[in-house]
Structure 1
Amino acid sequence: MATGTVRYWAAAKAAAGVAEEPFDAPTLGALLTRISSNPDLAQVLRRCSFLVNGAPVGTRDPHSIDLPEGAVVEVLPPFAGG
């Protein structure tokens, strides 16, 4: 089980009510399951992209993405403009 930081941006930050928070989860999928308990955030997460330590997750299954100790997970909703 890894511990790290999840950072929320834009609409995800508004829905989460915080800019960042610590996590304890073995995979990105497990982390998303936990933070999806907030219904407002769950709705935003469906449209988000994710970075783990700066690397894009893309279309891979979040449950296949192992989180290393000290990972930083960025939650990025779609942004308007360039």
Structure 2
Amino acid sequence: MATGKVRYWAAAKDAAGVAEEAFEAATLGELMAKITAGREDLARVVRRSSFLVDGDPVGRRAHQDVVLGEGATVEVLPPFAGG
């Protein structure tokens, strides 16, 4: 099980109520379950978001298959509007 930090951007930051928080999880799937438990607004944003793990895009990989290393930084990026 790794420890690290999760950073929230834009609507995810608003829904989480913090810019970042520490985590303890082995996979991105486990982390997403932990951070959204009892936080329906954040869960709704996370379902639409993309993720970076240590700067690398997760893309379409299954979250349960994305292993988190010790000291990892996970960034939650909701869809951005603009042009």
Do they superpose with TM above 0.5? yes
Partner of 2:60: 59
Q: Normalization by structure 2: what TM-score?
A: 0.97
Q: CA deviation at 1:78?
A: 0.5
Aligned residue runs from structure 1 range 1-82, under 5 A: 1-37=1-37, 38-82=39-83
Distance (whole Å) between structure 2 residues aligned to residue 62 and residue 25 of structure 1: 12
Query: Partner of 1:46: helix, strand, or coil?
Result: helix
Any stretches of 5+ residues in structure 2 without a counterpart? none
The amino acid of 1:10's aligned partner reads A
Identity between Structure 1 and Structure 2 (%): 67
Query: Partner of 2:81: helix, strand, or coil?
Result: coil
Q: Normalization by structure 1: what TM-score?
A: 0.98
Distance (whole Å) between structure 2 residues aligned to residue 63 and residue 54 of structure 1: 18
- Give the total of aligned pairs: 82
Distance (whole Å) between structure 2 residues aligned to residue 21 and residue 36 of structure 1: 13
Q: CA deviation at 1:56?
A: 0.2
Distance (whole Å) between structure 2 residues aligned to residue 23 and residue 70 of structure 1: 10
Query: Partner of 1:3: helix, strand, or coil?
Result: strand
Query: Partner of 1:79: helix, strand, or coil?
Result: coil
Distance (whole Å) between structure 1 residues aligned to residue 41 and residue 17 of structure 2: 10
Q: CA deviation at 1:40?
A: 0.7
